[in-house]
Every structure is written in structure tokens, then in C-alpha cells.
Structure 1
């Protein structure tokens, strides 16, 4: 962590005290990013951004305010503090607001073990352009591809530093490099498209650009001549690339902010079975080389591994300090924040228990049904869990793919759906959310 960011947060806290704040916390974020797009073998767009953003949250009793800026000059910091204090004095009281107690903060953390920052040199724009060009060329070389919609490569490095007026200070940096490609097959109203991409913290972990382009192209070609499936009730398999959306809905339902508002279908489910008995959902913020890992949360609390669901039973909520106080619980160190807003509870890395079967095994067991590889739109009732989404993928008969399908809708209720999931063993373990393909029987399918 550079001294510059810690110096900025120290200056923000000092200015807050001088302006009359009882307590304060400060966040400084420095970032650099570069992205390159290629079209038809030529550079289409290149963009680079660099900047430092700062945020200050002040407390006057139980009143609070947040201000932010991208200007780090001394006079700007002083003005920020004065405005924040003036705003806080006019704000309504929030009985749940406040910093952590000094004894609650993370006192030591091993940033190096998380491997969030690649020490190798930043790639040149030419290197990124070559990645994008190779991905596009590989996609275009696949028979049946009519065009490559986009081929992109990018790199970013971001550093943060958080400090509070009652004793916490810490920071870390993370890097990211990625390549993506979108291919199209067919013409006019018969066009279908699909994609593939890879993003890694360490550049040498990244899949080869040509492989990314090839997979995107083959996926697109396999969707040619898609049609609507028959309406009815069928088993459905959520392919690994989109199955994490189901677990995302579960994580949203157990978010403390939703529970505190009373707007969650899971608000009364602690201690109840919400997944099959043999399945657990574990949050682990200390997985090395994973984008959702972090040594401390947005309020300076030490992050830790926990079971969100253990052997099918919901163990608790995802909480920051404010929602924990409101629900008379203890924070799970899940606070996340930006420079222009206060903390809120957010889920990080999540791993769902994998099964013993391959995706092909699930297809065989399914017999007749739908393999979903893409979803659009979303109608989710957060209070009841009623679920409806547009889907496309492949129609399965006798356990084998018959033809691609599109323009259909699947529906059910999340509370019931999650209890019936059958997992495959194909999750990608380098992702922040490790979720395999999931089969659910008895889904309502609307097509022809």
C-alpha cells in the first residue's frame, strides 16, 4: 500500500476532528485501468483511466453524513470535512449507525497470503490489443460464425486504504486482467450469439486468447436455428455458467438489509432447511487469487470463513454493523462501501457443495427437459420468492441434446426450487462463486 493513500485518510480524519465531528472514517481508492476493443482485426477503441477517489463519513452523535471527492488537495479535504459536519447536524438520527468499537477491529491480517496483487508488469496496450485480436481471429475461424460482435482485453490495478478515528488503519491492492469475446451465427432475425471470457488476478493464470475466441464461437454456432420449446412442466438444468444466479438470489434473501426491512422471503428461515440436507453454502473471504477475497471488511472488521447454510439449514444473515445492531446480532464482517456511500452488507466468495455426477450424468437422468445456458430479464418477488425468467439453451430428450431453444420462460418459487436442487461436479473453482450445474425437477416452462 502506498503511503500516499494512508496520508490522505489521515488528513481526512484530522480535518473531520477540526470541523467538529465526534467520530469519522475515511476511505481512499487509487486506480488505473486500460481496455482495448478490436473489430475486424483492427483497433476499434482504447481507453485508459487513472484517478484517486476519497470519501469521508462523519458522526455527530447518532447523525451521520458522507461526502466524496476526486480532489485530494488540502483545502478540498478541509471543505469536505466542514460540509460533512454541517450535513450531519441536519440529518435525522440513525440509532443503528456508528463505528465499530476499538476492540472489534481487525488487529492483524496477512494480505500477502491472499495473493490479490500480481507483481508482474502491467501489460502494454499493444499486448492487450494482440490478446483481443487473437480471440477475434480464433472465433472468426470457426465454421458457422457470421461475425464477431466484440473482442476485448483489459487490465486494472486498484488500491484502497481505510482508516477510522478510533484506531483502525489498513489497506491492500488488487489486480485484474481479462479477455472476452462475443460471436454471432446466422443473419437478420435468425442471428444467435454467445460469449466466453476469462478474468484473473494473476496474468499467467489467464486462458489463452485463442481458446476464449474458439469457445465463444462454438457456443454461438451451437445455437443456430433455435426454436421455442413446448409449454409444460419439465426438469430444468441450470448450466454452470448461469447457475450462480440461483445462489445469488439466496444470498440476496439472507442479506441483513433485506431482512431488517422485512422484504425477504427467507426472513423467518434461520434454523430451517432451505437446501437439500447434504448441501452447504460456505463463504470464505480468504481464498487465494480470488476476486472476492479481502482481509477486512468495509468497516475494518476481520473477515472470516462461515457457513451461510450448513447441511441444508440456514445458519444466519449476512450483516454489517448497522444491520447487526438492528437485528440484535453480531456483524458477520460483510460490510462493503464506496467513497460516496456508507457501508452495507454484501456477500463475497461463496462455495456450494458439489455433487458426484457430471453434467452428462444429470442430462441422462433428466431424460426430457431443458438445459439453460443463458437467461434474460428477471421477475423475482423478494417477499414471496416467486421466480420467473426468460431463458434459452438446449432441448433434451433421452438424455441427449436435440436442438437449441430460445424465447421461453421458466417459473417457480425459490423457496421450493432451492430445496430440490441436484448438483453436478463441474464448478470452476477459481471463481468467486463456486457453483456447479444444478438440476431442478418440476419447473414450469412456457414456450409454444
Structure 2
């Protein structure tokens, strides 16, 4: 896949598309190429179930004629002149959009740092197969594991090539390597499943296959013979970091400028107000060296910077692209993401910054409560903040994890949950959303 690193030819083609769109009558235009190269192997019970490889360079051209905009997509080999003329013709008959636009020229990145996002290590398919088999075997060797749901290993790279009619031209690539395994413990109606995985930009940073497999097996075995617990209110619920990352994702969704503009966020009227407990901070930084979601510029050619989105519990920023910012009367903060032919705001390296207490001490302070390791269902209403999810995990008794629990529901409102949240100090920043273990007081638990 090393041949995919050089994007100069794609940059030239993107610039040509932009020039042809201008010649066809567009006032402004940009062209983007989303690059993808991947290879993966999946195994189950010692046998290869699938081997996949894919490569793509997907072109998108966006043109503006006054306040009218149109976008078209194509694969390599298309007629660039025909594509440009078609896009302009579509724009001329499109409805007006007062907010659609390119980023302001003054906002464009004229230079940007090398964030070391690309590891050009070429991992052979055979090495992927061996890693997947080793991870699965390690999981099956854990006493109590009875079956496998499969294991996998992958390697790939992806990136962005962008050219605009007002002078931006740039590209970047990022690599991604992964390993995962899922196994079953127990027998008959008492079977329980769990998994483990790792995903990194640099191949040498991946956890060893046997480590991943052993963790998956141990997690599954611990869940065997779960109980239901009594229904109760005012329960303290502790979220395992894997689950806490998803919870922080709800915060990101609530402070996304697109949701605010659509009035689909329960925090839409809370800018400058307290939304988390005093002392808590949510940061977002696109420029982390070797960061999982780092990027030297966004989908519009704008460089972002580290922002404290929520500072000392107070909401300070929305995630904004240029068009979303215009709709809200604010400048972009470089969070635009290309999704096909559109640009929408999103987080980069997002983190709920850690507290000072260890996860063990946090659990100990709970006394009696519920430690969540898995959530089920989609019961989160981002308009009202109502939260209700099926859950499983472990009951906390006298400050210790006592026994596995399943078939319960936890419920509250995100507004209240945000204000009752306490983070531990065990943050792992290797994922695009990072969170330590968190405890949330005052939740309702529905059991037997």
C-alpha cells in the first residue's frame, strides 16, 4: 500500500476539476478526494472465514453559482470536463442556500504541521491471519471460555486530498491497524459473550494478540451466571471506560453546531452556562501528534486548534464548520468534516479530562451501586435529554465488584447526568474519544 502515499497526481486532478468548474460558470468550487486502502482477515475456531482487500479514490466536486450549490461524485476514470459542466448545470437549477459556501480565504491553512499520522508499514495478509489466530487461541485458552464468535486483524490507510477555487491545495494520509476477538463463556442458556480490541495509527503500538485474546476471555468468563437486581432509584452508576467513551460522545452530539442550528440538541440554549459539574473540562484537539482523530486541516482547508469546549463545567464552544457557523452567526473553528459531498461539523480528539481519584477508589466510594460494562439499545433522546438504556455489568457491594448483573435498565436525563458526573484518573487517549471511568449519581435502575 506504500504506493498510495503520493497524492500529487490526485491533487492535480482535483485542481483541474476546480478550474473546469470555474470555466463552466461556477463562482466558487472545491474538489475533494477521499482515499482508502484496507486489508483484513477474519477467523473463527482456527479457520479463516474471510480475507478482504479494498482500494478507492472517491472524487467529489462541489460548485457554487451565487447562493445555489450542487455536488457530484465520481470514481477515477471519469470525464472531468463533463463532470464539471454537469455540476454547474445542477447548481443553476438548485434552490438557494444562504449558508452554503466555501471557507473564508482568511481562514485557510497556509501551512500546517506534520502530525506523524502515517505508518507505512506493509503488513502481509499472512501476518494478519497469524495475529487473528493467535488472539483467538489465547482467548479460548482462558478457563471457562467455550466458544468463539471470531477474531480479526486489519491494516489500512486513508486520507483527504482537497483543492479549492480560492487557493487551497493540500493532502494528508493516516494509517490504521487493528486487532479484535470476541468469545463466549458458559453453556446452554447461561452463555455470555464479551470482546476486546485494539486500534492504533502505528503498527508497533498495537497490543499483542495474546494480550487482547486473554482480556476478551477473562471479560467473558466474569459475566457468567449473572443476576437481576432489585429496582431502585438514586443509584450511583459507574461506567467502564469503554462505555464512558460512548457517554462522552453524547456530550459531543449535544454541542455540535449542526444539532444546535436544527434545534435538535437539549443544550441549544445553554452557551455560557454551567452544563457539567464545576471543575470538569471537555477538550478537543485536532493537532495531537499521532492522535487517533488528528488532522492538519479540516474538510474545508481550515486548521483547527485545541479548544476547551466545556471549561470548569461551563459551555464555551460549539463544533462548527463554515456553513454551520454562518447559520449561527459564528466563525468556523475548523471542525468541518467531508461526508460524501457535504461538510458537517464534528469533534476530533475529544476528551473528558480526568479527575484525581483512582477508579478503585471511585468504586470504593460508591459503596453499593452498579458498574456498567455493556449498554443495549438506542434509548437516548438528544432533543429532550431523556436517557434509558438496557445494561449489564457488575453489582458494587461494599465498594467492591461483587457479582455479574444483566437484564436491567438504567435511566435518567442527560442534563442531570452531566451535573452529577465524577471522573476517575485512568484516561486512555489512544481513541478519538477519550474518557476515564466515570460515576454518575442519582440514576434509576429497573430490575426485577
Report the Cα offset of residue 280 of structure 1: 0.7
Q: Supply the RMSD in Å over aligned alpha carbons.
A: 1.1
1:329 has 2:334 as partner = no
Report the Cα offset of residue 122 of structure 1: 0.9
TM-score normalised by the chain length of structure 1: 0.97
Q: Confirm or deny: 8 A CA contact 2:420 2:442 kept in the other structure.
A: no
Equivalent in the alignment of 1:367:
367
Matches within 5 A, 1:179-198: 179-198=179-198
Secondary structure in 1 matching 2:52:
strand
Q: Confirm or deny: 8 A CA contact 2:308 2:316 kept in the other structure.
A: yes
Equivalent position to 1:36, from 41, 51, 55: 41
Distance 1:51 1:441 in 2: 47
Distance 2:351 2:344 in 1: 22
Equivalent in the alignment of 2:29:
24
Equivalent in the alignment of 2:127:
127
Matches within 5 A, 1:135-154: 135-154=135-154
Equivalent in the alignment of 1:258:
259
Secondary structure in 1 matching 2:377:
strand
Equivalent in the alignment of 1:404:
404
Equivalent in the alignment of 1:293:
294
Distance 1:81 1:23 in 2: 12
Q: Confirm or deny: 8 A CA contact 2:45 2:150 kept in the other structure.
A: no
Distance 2:392 2:341 in 1: 37
Q: Which runs of 5+ in 1 are unaligned?
A: none
Distance 1:170 1:229 in 2: 56
Secondary structure in 1 matching 2:444:
strand
The runs of 4+ residues in structure 1 deviating greater than 3 Å are: none
Equivalent in the alignment of 2:219:
219
Matches within 5 A, 1:428-439: 428-439=428-439
Report the Cα offset of residue 188 of structure 1: 3.2
Report the Cα offset of residue 323 of structure 1: 1.2
Equivalent position to 1:66, from 58, 71, 78: 71
Which string of whole-angstrom CA distances, capped at 9 and with x for unpartnered residues, describes residues 106-128 of structure 1? 11101x2x110013x31000000
Matches within 5 A, 1:90-109: 90-109=93-112
1:48 has 2:53 as partner = yes
Q: How many residues align?
A: 442
1:230 has 2:230 as partner = yes
Which string of whole-angstrom CA distances, capped at 9 and with x for unpartnered residues, describes residues 312-371 of structure 1? 100021111111111111111110013x32101111111222112111111111111100
TM-score normalised by the chain length of structure 2: 0.97
Matches within 5 A, 1:380-395: 380-395=380-395
Report the Cα offset of residue 301 of structure 1: 0.8
Equivalent position to 1:84, from 81, 84, 87: 87
Q: Confirm or deny: 8 A CA contact 1:280 1:311 kept in the other structure.
A: yes
Distance 1:291 1:355 in 2: 22
